[in-house]
Amino acid sequence: MTQWDLRNATAADREAVKFLLDENDLPAADIDEHLQCFLVAIDNGIIVGVVGAEISGTEALLRSLAVRVPDRGKGLGGILSNAILSSMKQMGVKQVALLTTTAEKFFANHGFITVPKTQIPEFVKASKEYRLYCPSTAVCMIKQLA
C-alpha cells in the first residue's frame, strides 16, 4: 500500500494545486483566497492529491477534492477527506456541506447525505463556489461532525 505525506498547502504549492484541480474539472480561480485551508498529499516530492475547505464559524464547505489520475483507486481520496474533516472538527466545525456533480456515491460512503439546495447553509450559498462555479446540476450534501 502506498504511503502519502499529508501537509497543509503553502503558496509554493499553488501551481501544482491549480493544475490538479484543472485536471479534475474543479474550480481553481479562487484558490488563493482559501489556500490556507487546503491539504496536499505528497508522493516522492509530487503533489498527487488535494482537498480544500471554506470555513465560517461552525459551518464549512468541503471543496476541491482531487486525486491525480494514476493515483486513483488507492484510497487517497478517502484519506484526504477524513484528514480535512478531522481538522475541521478540531477547529469547532459542526456541519460540513459540499457540492458535487461526479462524486455523490463517494461522499455518501463517507457519511454525507444528499439534501435539497434549500438546506445548504447561507454562507455556502453566498460563496463563489456556489454562486459562480457550481453548475445547477450539482448535488448538495451535508455531514454533521458533532
16 exposed, middle or buried (CB, 10 Å; 0-12, 13-18, 19+)? Answer: middle
Which residue range(s) make up the domain with 109? 5-144
Band (pLDDT 50/70/90 cuts) for residue 96 is very high
What secondary structure letter does DSSP report for 104? Answer: H
* Strand pairing report for 38-43 and 46-56: antiparallel
What secondary structure letter does DSSP report for 102? Answer: S
What pLDDT, on the 0 to 100 scale, is given for residue 1?
A: 53
Q: What is the CATH number of the domain that holds 102?
A: 3.40.630.30
Q: Which amino acid is at 121?
A: P
Q: Is the pTM of this model over 0.85?
A: yes
What pLDDT, on the 0 to 100 scale, is given for residue 89?
A: 97
Q: How many domains does the chain have?
A: 1
pLDDT (tens digit per residue) in 31-79:
888 899 999 999 999 999 999 999 999 999 999 999 999 999 999 999 9
Cβ-Cβ contacts under 8 Å for 119 (sequence gap 6 or more)? 140, 142
Q: How far apart are CA 70 and CA 27, in angstroms?
A: 21
